Structure formats: structure tokens, C-alpha cells
């Protein structure tokens, strides 16, 4: 017996800001690549690399939304919503790769810094900061509703910090002439990105492994079910997420009281889970005897019973 079996995940309102952010980011990425080469700035090139991963993250996010819209079929009975989590995990891996590359390159250059054109570096980084702020504003309203959008938002956020770092570095180089500051700024950007990439990858993996959603306490759910009127015991309790914002529950509930109306009990349990835990996709199996103790004939007979 189940309730709330719609597998739809909200995607309305996600696509337009993602498209605008993608166009802005991809367009400016080209300018940063050229500027980084012209100025010999590793910090600016690292910011351009972040812009590239931003663009990839936004494109993957849009692809995930399109695939997630595909209807349920015989091979994908839950639909394609989990592709969103795969996209988030891929974005986290991209962040790791960029951060590690920048760290390695910075350590190679820090002892022999090249001449850096700080004025052009400052102009390009300032424009990059403006683009990042616009993209962050567009994505901020949806980042808490979708892990996919959150991954893209973190990409842009890290790049925004990178732009700030490049601006500070450009000003310091202009005032002091110390070229090694560029590499130090790049290292700082890389070290800031790594823990956030790890957090996103950890969260994505948790969902892919069908772990209990972080906002739910499994012990509290057990207590609420076990103490509900008409319930003698529960077993085979599972709580997991299909995608971000889409938690599901299945449980076997034992009720041995003949006077209890099972349809009413089922309705009450559904309502309790929805109100207390915001769980709307629930599958509840009512049993008079725990299934492990029941005397069940497991032999299947394809022949219909004769009258």
C-alpha cells in the first residue's frame, strides 16, 4: 500500500537562470583565457579555468534537467531524475581537477615568477567578478532546492572568490612589483575550492548510495511509527532520496489488533509522515504477522485455481 507516488521533481524556474548564467560565463571565459596568456598571470588563468568548469557545470546542469524530464519507462521505473545527482558528482570531480592543477602549477612557478601585466590583469578580473556576481544572483534562488543547481552555484561562487583574489593580487603586484604574489593567490583559490568540492561529492555519493537524507533522523521516524496507535511493531524501514528534494520511505507495519480499521490506520500513518517529516512518497505494507514469522508458501503456481 502506498501514497503520493508521483516521482516528479520540480524543475520549473531552474532552466532560464541556468541558460543566462551559461551564456555570460562561457562568453567571458574566452576573454579570460586570452587575457591570462597576454598578462602571464597564473591567477588569471586559474580564474579562466574555473570559468571553464563553471560553463561545463552549467551545461551539465541543463542537460540533467532535460534528461530528468523524460517519462518513466519499463527500464527506468523511477524515471531519470537521478541523472541530476550524477551531474552534481561530475561537477565536484571537475572542481577537484582544476584545484589540483592550479596548486601544482603554482608551486612550479612560485620560485621563478614571470613578468605580469597587472593593469590588464586587474581590468579582466574586475569584469570577471561582475559576471560571477550576476550568475550567482540568478542561481541563488534555486540552489537550496536542487543539488544539481547547488553544484553549479558552488562553481560560480568559487570563481567569484577567485576573481576577488586576482583583483587583490593585481593591486599588490602593481604596488610592490612582487610577481610571486600571483602564485600565492592561485594557491589560495585552489585550497578554498578543495573542501567545497569534497562536500559536494560526499553529498552526491550519499544520495547515489541511497543513504538516509541528511535532514531526516531515522531514529525519530522509527519512534514515531512504533508509537503510533494501532502499531505493534515495524521492520524493513528504508528512507532514501531519488534526487534532491525527493525523499522516499518504505516500511512494514505490524498490526495484530482486529478492531483496528486498516484503511484508517494507513491513512493516519501517511498523514503523520507527511506532516512531521515532509515525507510524501511512502510505501507502507500492513501485516497481521511479521513477514519473517509468517507461514508463507513461496511456491508460485501459474495455473489458476479450479472452481
Residue 252, domain CATH? 3.30.70.1350
Question: pLDDT of 89-121, one tens digit each?
Answer: 887 887 788 778 778 877 777 776 666 777 777
245 and 158 in a single domain? The answer is no
User: Cell triple for residue 278?
Assistant: 515532509
Cβ contact 235:252 at 8 Å: yes
In degrees, rounded to 5, the angle at the alpha carbon of residue 102 between the alpha carbons of residues 100 and 105 is 110
53 and 191 in a single domain? The answer is yes
Confidence bin at 27 (pLDDT 50/70/90): confident
Q: Is the pLDDT of residue 11 over 60?
A: no
Beta strands 281-287 and 246-254 are parallel
Chain mean position to CA 5:
23
Residue 160 lies inside a defined structural domain of this protein: yes
Phi, psi of 130 (to 5 degrees): -60, -45
Cβ contact 163:129 at 8 Å: yes
Lowest-confidence pick of 115-119, 128-132, 142-146, 173-177: 142-146
Specify the pTM. Answer: 0.66
Please give the mean pLDDT across all residues of the chain.
77
The count of structural domains within the chain is 2
Q: Which domain holds residue 195?
A: 7-208
Confidence bin at 51 (pLDDT 50/70/90): confident
Residue 301 lies inside a defined structural domain of this protein: no
pLDDT of residue 272: 93
Cβ contact 305:261 at 8 Å: no
Question: pLDDT of 239-282, one tens digit each?
Answer: 998 776 678 899 999 988 878 888 899 999 999 999 999 898 89
Residue 137, domain CATH? 1.20.1510.10
Helices marked H in the chain — which ranges?
15-39, 42-68, 83-109, 118-140, 147-176, 180-208, 218-226, 262-277
Distance CA 88, CA 153 (A): 11
DSSP 252: E
Amino acid at each position: 500500500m502506498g501514497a503520493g507516488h508521483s516521482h516528479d521533481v520540480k524543475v520549473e524556474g531552474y532552466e532560464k537562470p541556468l541558460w543566462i548564467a551559461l551564456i555570460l560565463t562561457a562568453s567571458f571565459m574566452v576573454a579570460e583565457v586570452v587575457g591570462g596568456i597576454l598578462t602571464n598571470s597564473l591567477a588569471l588563468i586559474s580564474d579562466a579555468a574555473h570559468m571553464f568548469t563553471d560553463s561545463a557545470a552549467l551545461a551539465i546542469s541543463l542537460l540533467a534537467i532535460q534528461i530528468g524530464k523524460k517519462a518513466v519507462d519499463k527500464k527506468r521505473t523511477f524515471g531519470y531524475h537521478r541523472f541530476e545527482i550524477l551531474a552534481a558528482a561530475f561537477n565536484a570531480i571537475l572542481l577537484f581537477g582544476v584545484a589540483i592543477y592550479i596548486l601544482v602549477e603554482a608551486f612550479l612557478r612560485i620560485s621563478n615568477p614571470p613578468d605580469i601585466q597587472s593593469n590588464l590583469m586587474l581590468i579582466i578580473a574586475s569584469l570577471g567578478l561582475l559576471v560571477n556576481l550576476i550568475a550567482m544572483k540568478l542561481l541563488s534562488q534555486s540552489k537550496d532546492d536542487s543539488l544539481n543547481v547547488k553544484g553549479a552555484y558552488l562553481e560560480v561562487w568559487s570563481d567569484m572568490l577567485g576573481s576577488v583574489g586576482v583583483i587583490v593580487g593585481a593591486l599588490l603586484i602593481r604596488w610592490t612589483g612582487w610577481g610571486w604574489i600571483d602564485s600565492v593567490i592561485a594557491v589560495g583559490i585552489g585550497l578554498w575550492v578543495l573542501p567545497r568540492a569534497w562536500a559536494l561529492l560526499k553529498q552526491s555519493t550519499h544520495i547515489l548510495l541511497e543513504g538516509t537524507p541528511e535532514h531526516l533522523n531515522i531514529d525519530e521516524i522509527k519512534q514515531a511509527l512504533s508509537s503510533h496507535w494501532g502499531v505493534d511493531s515495524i521492520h524493513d524501514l528504508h528512507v532514501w532520496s531519488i534526487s534532491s528534494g525527493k525523499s522516499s520511505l518504505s516500511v512494514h507495519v505490524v498490526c495484530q489488533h482486529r478492531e483496528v480499521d486498516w484503511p484508517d490506520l494507513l491513512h493516519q500513518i501517511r498523514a503523520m509522515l507527511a506532516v512531521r517529516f515532509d515525507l510524501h512518497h511512502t510505501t507502507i505494507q500492513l501485516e497481521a504477522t511479521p513477514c519473517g514469522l509468517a507461514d508463507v508458501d513461496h511456491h508460485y503456481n501459474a495455473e489458476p485455481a479450479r472452481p
